[in-house]
Amino acid sequence: MEHVIQVQNLTKIYGKLMAVNHINFEVLKGEIYGFLGPNGAGKTTTLRMLTGIIRPDKGEANILGFNIQKEPLKAKQNIGVVPETSNAYVDLSAWQNMMLMSELYGIPKKEAENRAENLLDRLGIYDRRDDKVNAFSKGMKQRLILCMALVNDPLLIFLDEPTSGLDVQSTHLIRDILQEFPEQGKTIFLTTHNMDEANNLCDRVAIINKGQIAAIDRPEKLKNMIKKLKSIEISFDKALNTKNLSELPHITQIRKKGDKFIVFTDNVDGLIHSLTLFAESENLKIVTLNTLDPSLEEVFVELTGDA
Amino acid sequence: MQINQYLDQLKRSLGIMKKDIRIYYLKGPVVIFGFLMPLFLFLAFFIGSRDMPMDFLISGLIGMTVFFTATAVSPVIAPWEAQVQTLERLISTPISITTLLFGDMLASFLFGILIPILPIALGLAIGINIIYPLTFILGIILAAACFSSFGLILSSPPSNAPSNVMMISSLVRFPLVFISGIFIPIEKMPYWGKIIASVSPLTYFTDLTRYSINGTSYYPIQVDLIAIIVFIVVFFFLAVQLHKITIYKRI
Ligand SMILES: Nc1ncnc2c1ncn2[C@@H]1O[C@H](COP(=O)(O)OP(=O)(O)OP(=O)(O)O)[C@@H](O)[C@H]1O
Ligand SMILES: [Mg+2]
């Protein structure tokens, strides 16, 4: 089975709004696949259709070889889901939540207890296992939800913005765990609007905007798509403002960023010359000068047309 | 293969049941509507009609209690879970909607057979005799299953506010009590009253309870039993069909 997820013409309509509009894509076994898009792009709606939580109005999705509409139970048996909103049972303890999930996946008790122990321990909440989830912080809840999504040792894991609103520590913990999955032949589908996450974690990224897919490729290749838009980061030993620089040749756009300037150009060589000439004539010293590749963020802004 | 699959799903519905018991039995409104309500109704009625025989009153109280307790939990589960956003998690797991509802029904069912022990004990304490205990127990079990399925139907409108659903279900449950021969014996009802009473499942259970206590009933008890079983099947099937449509609208 090469394709773990196969999506054809998947569509969801809310009233007059095409929340997801005839999208097509495949996810390969062992991939970390990112679904990147601005708020309201249709990421959650897509993920919910893929996991059988809502029904598409058109099109179909094959998950691990099963049509999620026609054989939902078989498809769901080997997937794990971290939904967008935190939703463990707050009246139950972390342990009870884990046991409930195990029962719903039909996992034998002994095995379930072993797994729950390992997972809770790995995510640093084992000591709090008998506390009601009510008393958990947001980060702890999110970690528990990841544990709950992994009780069935899934082959394919769906995560809807798994690290949004978490501190650096929790974020890194979760990312570290996710990064181990491809080695075990497991596949990850995650939505995010965090460029950094998509850039560092994903093998491939689909950029979705207004319900349609704008591009699908490896992060580096996506960046190449707009390579023409080069930029240089420069700083001087004295304070300047953008006006001082804006008259120079080869500058298409200029932005101040702290004590540095980001200068966009279509002629890197010419720009460096004019910047050094400028520094000489004004008696300034250049403290830093870096040429920058376009970031995934710029690709994203370019493709989606808003920030 | 097929059988195994059903057994497997049945086991998973026990997981749902356990969760429901842990969460919903402890919620105030559920207990109040389930247990205290019939008690207050009974007391009000008791004070107003001293001329009614005690066994008539007690069988009415038992009927009401089974009815209110079995329909106390099941209507609120679906809207509650949607509101606190645990429903999405449940739907993402490999259980069918039938499994999910069956688990909810079991939780309600247990509530519906455990709580009525209180009015039964009360009845025994004041000297009421149960002359057909086996029929009585069978009746309670079937009735609890029937009423909890009925509760599932009440929860099918896709409203995610438990208070809305509780209001709807109260609007349905109270009138049912008044047409089911609890306060007025069926034989004293006018013809149209008898017709209306015959469509209420509670009528048959109340009738069966009276039979168990004093040996007299309006319908033959076979009719009572069969009617309750038919209601169970119809209610549960209908609940599954309705929830299959509305559950996706809750997300
Ligand atoms: N249940 C619903 N009813 C009506 N409209 C909906 C519903 N769910 C989503 N939408 C609409 O569909 C569009 C896509 O929503 P979706 O939640 O998929 O976006 P998203 O990409 O996940 O955004 P975010 O980054 O904010 O999570 C939005 O315009 C949203 O308002
Ligand atoms: Mg979303």
Q: Whose CA is nearest to atom 12 of ligand 1?
A: A19
pLDDT digit string (tens) for B174-225? 889 888 888 888 888 889 989 999 999 999 999 999 999 988 889 999 999 9
Q: Is B12 near chain A, with CB under 8 Å?
A: yes
List the beta bridge partners of residue A157: A80, A188
- Domains in chain A, start-ordered, CATH in brackets? 1-78+186-217 (3.40.50.300), 225-304 (3.30.70.100)
Task: Work out which ligand 1 atom sits closest to the CA atom of A208.
Answer: 21
Give the pair of three-digit tokens for residue A159. Answer: 């995560």
Q: Chain A window 74-103: which residues touch B at a Cβ cutoff of 8 Å?
A: 74, 76-77, 79, 81, 83, 85-92, 96, 100-101, 103
pLDDT digit string (tens) for A249-302? 888 888 888 888 988 887 888 888 888 998 898 899 999 888 776 677 777 777
pLDDT digit string (tens) for B94-128? 999 999 999 999 999 998 898 888 888 888 888 88
H/E run at residue B152: helix B133-154
* Dist. CA B89–CA B93, nearest whole Å: 7
CB A211 within 8 A of CB A19: yes
CB contact under 8 A, A87 and B8: no
pLDDT digit string (tens) for A174-212? 999 999 999 999 999 999 888 788 888 999 999 999 999
The answer for residues whose C-beta is within 8 angstroms of residue B246's C-beta and 6 or more apart is B156, B157, B158
CB contact under 8 A, A48 and B16: no
What rounded mean pLDDT belongs to chain B? 88
pLDDT digit string (tens) for A12-64? 999 999 999 999 999 999 999 999 988 899 999 999 999 999 999 999 999 99
Give the pair of three-digit tokens for residue A259. Answer: 């004590």
Distance A42 CA to ligand 2 centre (A): 7
* Dist. CA A54–CA A89, nearest whole Å: 21
Which of A54, A74, A83 comes nearest B89 by C-beta? Answer: A83
Residue B251's CB is within 10 A of a number of other CB atoms, namely 17
Q: What local confidence, expressed as pLDDT, does residue B42 receive?
A: 76
For residue A68, the chain B residues in CB contact (below 8 A) are: none
Q: What local confidence, expressed as pLDDT, does residue A227 receive?
A: 61
How far off is chain B from A72, nearest CA to CA, in Å? 7
Q: What local confidence, expressed as pLDDT, does residue A305 receive?
A: 73
Interface test with A, best of B27, B73, B89, B102 (most A CBs within 10 A): B89
Alpha-carbon torsion (B216, B220, B222, B226), positive or negative: negative
Give the pair of three-digit tokens for residue A193. Answer: 């609007």
Q: Count of A–B CB contacts within 8 Å?
A: 75
Q: What local confidence, expressed as pLDDT, does residue A69 receive?
A: 93
Confidence of residue B148 (pLDDT cuts 50, 70, 90): very high
* Dist. CA A23–CA A9, nearest whole Å: 5
Distance A19 CA to ligand 1 centre (A): 7
CB A286 within 8 A of CB A234: yes
CB contact under 8 A, B89 and A73: no
CB contact under 8 A, B15 and A148: no
Which of A85, A91, A103 comes nearest B23 by C-beta? Answer: A91
Give the pair of three-digit tokens for residue B70. Answer: 């079995």
Q: Residue-wise over A61-91: b if at least 16 C-beta within 10 A, else e? A: bbbbebebeebbbebbbbbbbbbbebbbbbb
Q: Report the SS3 class of residue A149.
A: helix
Q: What local confidence, expressed as pLDDT, does residue A86 receive?
A: 67
Distance A53 CA to ligand 1 centre (A): 14
* Dist. CA B25–CA B85, nearest whole Å: 19
Q: Whose CA is nearest to atom 3 of ligand 1?
A: A14
* Dist. CA B94–CA A105, nearest whole Å: 6
Residues around ion ligand 2, judged by CB within 5 A, are: A 43-44, 84
CB contact under 8 A, B86 and A51: no
Q: Which ligand is nearest to the CA of A23?
A: 1
Q: Which of residues A248 and B47 earns the better pLDDT score?
A: A248
How far off is chain A from B91, nearest CA to CA, in Å? 6
Q: What local confidence, expressed as pLDDT, does residue A186 receive?
A: 95
CB contact under 8 A, A101 and B91: no
CB contact under 8 A, A106 and B94: yes
pLDDT digit string (tens) for B17-41? 999 999 987 777 666 766 777 778 7
Q: Which of residues A215 and A76 earns the better pLDDT score?
A: A76
Q: What local confidence, expressed as pLDDT, does residue B182 receive?
A: 84
Among A32, A52, A39, A61, residue whose Cα is nearest residue A211: A39
Q: Chain A window 137-196: which residues touch B at a Cβ cutoff of 8 Å?
A: 148
Q: What local confidence, expressed as pLDDT, does residue A96 receive?
A: 97
pLDDT digit string (tens) for A125-184? 999 999 999 999 988 999 999 999 999 999 999 999 988 888 888 899 999 999 999 999
Residue with tokens 């046991």: A99
Q: What local confidence, expressed as pLDDT, does residue A307 receive?
A: 44
Interface test with B, best of A45, A103, A105 (most B CBs within 10 A): A103
CB A163 within 8 A of CB A124: no
**Which pTM value belongs to this model?**
0.86
pLDDT digit string (tens) for B61-101? 889 889 988 988 888 889 989 999 999 999 999 999 999 99
